[in-house]
Chains A and B, each alone.
Chain A
Amino acid sequence: MRKDKVAGRAGQLYGTVAGLLAAFIAGLVVLEQIGVPQQILGYLFVAATLVLYAGIGIASRTVHVTDYYVAGRQVPGVFNGMATAADWLSGASFIGLAGTLYMLGFDGLAYLLGWTGGFVLVAVLIAPYLRKFGAFTLPDFLAARFGGHAARLTGVIVLFVCSFTYVVAQLYAAGLIASRFLGISFEAAVYVGLGTVLVCSLLGGMRSITWTQVAQYLVLIVAFMLPVTILSAQHFGMPLAQLAYGEALEQIAALEQQMLASGLADPDTLVRHLVPGEALDPLNFTALVVCLIIGTASLPHLLMRFLTTSSVRDARRSAGWTLFFVLLLYATVPAYAAFAKLEIYQNVVGASLEALPGWIYTYGRLGLVEICGTAASSADAVREACTAVPDNAGVLRLGDLSIDRDVIVLALPEMAGLPYVLAGLVAAGGLAATLSTANGLMLAISNALGHDVYYRTLDSRAPASRRLLVARLFLLATAAVAAIVATSRPSDILSMVAWAFSLAASGFFPALVLGIWWKRCTTAGAVCGMIAGFGLTLAYLVMTQYGGMAEWYGIRNTSAAIFGVPVGFAVAILVSLVTPAPSRHVQAMVEEIRKPAGTPVMVDGAS
């Protein structure tokens, strides 16, 4: 086996990257002190990190099929954990999640529980077995286990629908960040983000993406932790924000009571931060946690990362490492939400309309902060809008203020009066989270089209070079379409992300789990189960969102998989039982993937 030069020296290389990053941040702090304008600092941050990613992408370019699809299967467990964490932590996690906790209070924690608990499922039920199988893509596994084109093409459709929904949301987030910090138009920003994604994924496929994602993880975790650590040390005398925000929670609860007593908050609309059931009823909370957990264990761009490790043992361990690395970020999110909420309850709500902090207008101009129903673009605009509101006494009430949830993380450094460098760092981190996820998604889609549709279904004699060329052409086409959709600003990004989870869960989870854990599961059973589960979830989403259908049992369509997954399982099991058992060959193959030792069932993506 060829020895991967990057994999062998990864620890040393990324130690250097981390050192350079620290030196770079320190250098920018100095530049800010001597008066370099903020716009230039923002540019430097974004440009330097993009050059870093592109450089890694170019340095690890490849012409080998195994490198392109599964990074040569030589990624050590720890680094695969880091890369998978970057793959996983999207714009929605980095930018949106703290804002969601800010809005929904306790009920937003469903996202934290779901997006971490899912990795237990990955480690126990799926990752080690997929790795032993030795496929290149998820549809590859379905095709070999369930034979023929039906399972493969159903898998490709499910993969395409859920990954594409997700990739559009990422490009949208990239556009949001770049337009705020680079001052370029939203549309241009989407294409700038797209360009770097393409450099990484076009040249080296999975190999480039893996090593870029490791760097992106370092950038995003530093960017997420640093502001909140400084804030915590300043306000609570304790740099560990994850342990210090308890005090902020107490103060928030006390301020809520004060605001209710003084009439600044309306008891009907105030979401109490610590109380469950204020935004989601217990049934919806539980359904959302279940759907996110199962969705985590079914998203193709995540699962294909576990195909890159050098052994089954490493695949399992790297699921544990991934959980560790995502936990570092997720355990910090509640602190962000608490600090931001405390800041706003203390210094914004109840303030005179004449004396609002400057960050309100910075984001108001982007249309992300609204006061009295209009964008808070300037003090005059706010005064004008609020005089039109009945019984306004020139003081900002909680109900007058409406903040877009994506602002919380981006604006926290400015809210707390930290140096602008930290705001730039957060933007670079948000961009890292967004681009790394977009990279993974884009590769998942183009691999499915290039490998599963073109090579496996249309032209099985295509030479390796042409297969890679076609995979890259599909990548370009996918990227172009995704960018066009993103620049049209589809509404409600967070719902779209939750939909992607529900669609993946109902489409893939029953077929994957039964395919590995139940030898008797037949081709007809798996295909019918996928179609039934996926179809039901898709129909529920579309009918409740656009068709005016009433929700079943009051379950929101973001948790649509709560119906789709059980139906998928039931159909797959029932149909399997009435169709003849799989051949002895297939049953032996299932036996084989249950044992870590021995050679994989497929070698270089061929059985």
Chain B
Amino acid sequence: MTFDGKPGMSPQRRRWRRTIALALVTLAILAVFALVVPFFAEPLNATRVAGFPLGYYMAAQGSLVAFLLLTVWFIFRQERLDREAGVAEPEPLDAGEEL
């Protein structure tokens, strides 16, 4: 993957490249659920899931839940990137003065 850059790159630089890649992927998924799925609501309405017309359901609740899952996934990935590059903040338990 080009975003991983050259082998000699510093951990911080590599982390920033990966952060940008993660942001782009997250925003692309956001666009799919916020814009593409509602655009196809009419054909999706032909399908019924648990008593709901699928097109309406996705725009009313399905995409919203997808946003939440996407955010949780993003936070998890970003925190791992930060830890691996050694730029994460100390956990509150390690640093008594933080509390």
Q: Assess whether A319 is in contact with B71, with CB atoms less than 8 Å apart.
A: yes
- Interface stretch among A27-35, A282-290, A446-454? A282-290
A115 to chain B, nearest CB (A): 9
Chain A residues with CB under 8 A of B45: 274-275
Report the separation of the CA atoms of residues A517 and B27 in the bound assembly, to the nearest whole angstrom. Answer: 14
Q: How far is the CA of A331 from the CA of B63 in the complex (A)?
A: 10
Closest to A115 in B: B64
Complex: how many Å from CA A594 to CA B63?
A: 29
Is A313 among interface residues, defined by CB-CB distance under 8 A?
Answer: yes
Instruction: Note all chain B residues with C-beta closer than 8 A to A598.
Output: 87
Q: In the complex, are the beta carbons of B98 and A320 less than 8 A apart? A: no
Per-residue interface assignment for chain A, residues 147 to 165, with 1 indicating a CB less than 8 Å from any chain B CB and 0 otherwise: 0000000000000000000
B97 interface hit (Cβ, 8 Å): yes
Q: Is the CB of A327 within 8 A of B50?
A: no
The answer to whether the Cβ of A243 comes within 8 Å of any Cβ in the partner chain is yes
- Name the contact of B88 in the complex, choosing from A109, A114, A247, A597 (C-beta under 8 A): A597
Summarize B's interface: helix, strand, loop or mixed: helix
Report B-chain residues with C-beta under 8 Å of the C-beta of A120.
26-27, 30, 67, 70-71, 74
Residue of B nearest to A3 (CB): B99
The answer to whether the Cβ of A249 comes within 8 Å of any Cβ in the partner chain is: yes
The chain A residue sitting closest to B39, CB to CB, is: A282
Answer yes or no: A316 CB below 8 A from chain B CBs: yes
**Binding-face segment, A56-64, A121-129, A256-264, A383-391:** A121-129
A594 near B61: Cβ-Cβ < 8 Å: no
Q: How far is the CB of A272 from chain B (nearest CB, A)?
A: 11
Report which residue of A120, A243, A316, A327 has the largest number of chain B beta carbons within 10 angstroms of its beta carbon: A120
Q: A106-B56, A112-B60, A117-B33 are in contact. Are A313 and B42 (CB under 8 A)?
A: no
B26 contact set on A, CB distance < 8 A = 120, 124
Q: Which B residues lie within 8 Å of A430 (CB)?
A: none
- Most B CB within 10 A of own CB, among A109, A110, A243, A327: A109
Do A311 and B16 touch (CB < 8 A)? no
B79 / chain A contacts, CB cutoff of 8 Å:
313, 316
The proximity string for A residues 1-22 relative to B, scoring 1 for CB distances below 8 Å and 0 otherwise, is 1010000100000000000000
Tell me how far the C-beta of A164 lies from the nearest C-beta in chain B, rounded to whole angstroms.
28
A317–B88 Cα distance when bound, in Å, is 14
Chain B residues numbered 35-83 whose CB sits less than 8 Å from any CB in chain A:
35, 38-39, 41-42, 45, 50-53, 55-57, 59-61, 63-65, 67-68, 70-72, 74-75, 78-79, 82
Please classify how large the interface on chain A is, using the bins under 10, 10 to 19, 20 to 34, 35 or more: 35 or more
Q: Is the CB of B34 within 8 A of A113?
A: yes
Please give the distance in Å from A98's CB to the nearest CB on chain B. 12
Q: How far is it, in angstroms, between the C-alpha of A24 and the C-alpha of B88 when the chains are bound?
A: 45
B35, B50, B88, B90: the one contacting A290 at CB < 8 Å is B35
- B16 near A594: Cβ-Cβ < 8 Å: yes
A242 within 8 A of B: yes
Known contacts: A286-B39, A597-B87, A597-B88. The answer to whether A327 contacts B75 by CB under 8 A is no
On whether the beta carbons of B87 and A595 are closer than 8 Å, the reply is: yes
With an 8 A cutoff between CB atoms, is B92 at the interface? yes
Is B89 at the interface (CB under 8 A from chain A)? Answer: yes
A330 within 8 A of B: yes
Bound together, the chains give a CA A257 to CA B42 distance in angstroms of 18
Please, which residues of chain B bring their CB within 8 A of the CB of A312? 89
- CA A277 – CA B56 in complex, angstroms? 12
Q: Is the CB of A597 within 8 A of B89?
A: yes
Please name all residues of chain B whose beta carbon is closer than 8 Å to the beta carbon of A275 when the two chains form the complex: 42, 45
Minimum C-beta distance from A366 to chain B (A): 29
Smallest CB gap from A338: residue in B: B60
Min CB–CB distance B14 → chain A (angstroms) = 13
Question: Closest approach, in angstroms, between the C-beta of A43 and any C-beta of chain B?
Answer: 36
Residues of B within 8 A of A246 (CB): 50-52, 57
Interface residues of A in 308-329 (CB under 8 A from B): 310-313, 316-317, 319-320, 323-324, 327
**Which listed residue (A106, A247, A330) contacts B51, Cβ 8 A?**
A247
Tell me, in angstroms, the Cα distance from A324 to B60 when the chains sit together.
15
Interface contact B64-A116, CB-CB below 8 Å: yes
Residues from chain B with Cβ under 8 Å of A313 in the complex? 79, 82, 88-89
Please state if A113 and B50 are interface contacts (CB–CB under 8 Å).
no
6 CB contacts below 8 A, A to B, read A121-B30, A276-B41, A289-B38, A290-B35, A330-B64, A594-B19
Other than the given A334-B60, A596-B88, 5 more pairs (CB < 8 A) read: A117-B30, A120-B71, A316-B79, A596-B87, A597-B90
Chain B residues in the interface with A (C-beta under 8 A): 12, 16, 19-20, 23, 26-27, 30, 33-35, 38-39, 41-42, 45, 50-53, 55-57, 59-61, 63-65, 67-68, 70-72, 74-75, 78-79, 82, 86-90, 92, 97-99
A interface residues with partner B (beta carbon < 8 Å): 1, 3, 8, 106, 109-110, 112-114, 116-117, 119-121, 123-125, 128, 242-243, 246-247, 249-250, 274-277, 282, 285-286, 289-290, 293, 310-313, 316-317, 319-320, 323-324, 327, 330-331, 334, 517, 594-598
Which 8 pairs of residues, A with B, have the shortest CB-CB distance? Answer: A246-B51, A246-B52, A334-B60, A109-B59, A595-B87, A117-B34, A276-B41, A320-B71
